[in-house]
Homo-oligomer: A and B are copies of this chain.
Amino acid sequence: MKMSKMGVRPEKTTPRDAEAINQKLLIQAGFIHQEMAGVYTFLPLGLRVLNKIENIVRKHMDKIGSELLMPSLSSKENWNTSGRLKTIDVLFKACAANEVSLAKSDAEYVLCPTHEDVVTPLVQGYNPSYKDFPISVYHIQTKFRNEPRVKSGLMRCREFRMKDLYSFHTDELDLKRYYDEVKKVYQEIFEEIGIGKDTVIALASGGDFTKDYSHEFQTRCENGEDTIYLNKTTGVAYNKEVKPEGADTSPNFEVFNAAEVGNIFPLGTKFSKAFGYEYTDKDGNKKPVITGSYGIGTSRLMGVLVEKFHDDKGIVWPKNVSPFGVHLIDLQQTDEAEKIYELLTKEGVDVLWDDREMSAGEKFADADLIGCPIRILVSSRSIQNGGIEVKLRNETESKIISIDRLMDFVKNV
């Protein structure tokens, strides 16, 4: 993609009210635009990162669930049935905005903050028999939560993107089996995104959902909201809210800041009982369905990645979610840059080509800010040396390599 065609560009100035590092850097580098507190536009660069994250999530989810797309508008009745119309403090509703509304009814809708209250009656309608189970469906969709505090950029928003998976089982044992499968798949996702070795599964409160523990995927992050207590002997991690007695003083526990990147809840019969979802077993008896719920906030994850991977010059994206594999800078305005752009594009490498009329210094600063893993520079120096100047985002020195070796170099980063 040519930078001159993006329609928007790095802002460079720090937004006045921005507090979180991810918010500052993502706005400065032109990934997102703040519409209001907690509400963002994903600009072309940001949308590419979001899509890469969501496509990795989707690829792994397809192994264990069937993708659909539930709506954001939901009937108040569903949320009344579950009891959550009264208990979820961040619930938004949608209703007619003005007096000229043509709608006959004054219907009000819930704007879904999550979808247990939608997916349960949905699956219930299709699957009455034990033969139909287990069932697992997921979607990647926009959620709405009327959060009181939204000071942490993409890490907490009023409108955000989320992958939510729901599973339905005939018994607790099968839920447990599937639950462990999801744990494994989540670990594969975080591995591919580039935070595998930094991420632990921590026991946490089941909250409103369940009296059992829920499980949070927590990744080490200086500015994360959570504190994790890792038992170095057993390898079991605990969110601060459920930490064992004595963990604060025991040398056996490592304590670190972390950001939640995923969570899984064994819901049991909470929602199936509320909606009266019983299946018929092989003897003709009615039994309550056992359910689980599994989330990954995909836009939140983008914010967490920036908190984890940045330096004083800008973002340092993990390779698999970088908006582009290569950032191509052309200082010569010759045909050379176009040749390289076409060579790389033909080989399937996605290239951000800074073709703008700006100084070298400005272009270098933008490349550092945007944070693609490889910078390729077409300059008189490199052309005279019969090669191309390349620099990795996480190294300080550049080097000149011949065009013949360029593809090998790019593929091996």
Contact = CB atoms under 8 A, between A and B. Distances in A.
Interface of A: 1, 5-9, 11, 33, 35-36, 39-44, 46-47, 50, 65-75, 85-98, 100-104, 109-111, 118, 122-123, 125-127, 135-137, 142, 144, 146-148, 158-159
Given A40-B71, A126-B9, A144 B94 contact: yes
A96 B148 contact: no
A71 B1 CA distance: 23
A92 B73 CA distance: 11
Nearest to A150: B103
B118 A90 contact: no
A321 to B, nearest CB: 16
B102 A71 contact: no
Interface residues of A: mostly helix, strand, loop or mixed?
mixed
Contacts of A104: 148
B147 A73 contact: no
B101 A97 contact: no
Contact of A90 (B65, B66, B102): B102
A71 B50 CA distance: 14
A99 to B, nearest CB: 8
A40 B73 CA distance: 9
Given A47-B69, A72-B142, A137-B7, A103 B148 contact: yes
Given A41-B68, A69-B50, A89-B100, A36 B95 contact: no
Nearest to A113: B97
Given A47-B67, A72-B72, A90-B103, 20 more contacts: A1-B66, A5-B66, A7-B136, A7-B137, A8-B137, A33-B125, A35-B122, A36-B109, A39-B71, A41-B68, A41-B69, A41-B122, A44-B68, A86-B98, A88-B97, A91-B97, A92-B94, A92-B96, A94-B111, A97-B111
B71 A41 contact: yes
Contacts of A40: 71
Given A118-B35, A123-B8, A69 B42 contact: yes
Nearest to A91: B97
A135 B8 CA distance: 9
Contact of A97 (B35, B43, B85, B123): B85
Contacts of A7: 65-66, 68, 123, 126-127, 135-137
A12 B192 CA distance: 41
Nearest to A115: B41
Per CB-CB distance, the 4 closest pairs between chain A and chain B, nearest first, are A93-B97, A91-B97, A42-B69, A102-B148
A137 B8 CA distance: 9
Nearest to A104: B148
A59 to B, nearest CB: 14
Contacts of A86: 98, 100
Nearest to A47: B69
A119 to B, nearest CB: 9
A68 B47 contact: yes
A35 B127 CA distance: 17
Nearest to A70: B41
B8 A126 contact: yes
Contacts of A43: 68
A162 to B, nearest CB: 14
A123 B68 CA distance: 33
B44 A67 contact: yes
B95 A93 contact: yes
B5 A75 contact: no
A52 to B, nearest CB: 14
Nearest to A65: B7
A46 B40 CA distance: 28
B103 A35 contact: no
A39 B159 contact: no
Contact of A73 (B88, B95, B123, B158): B158
Nearest to A111: B94
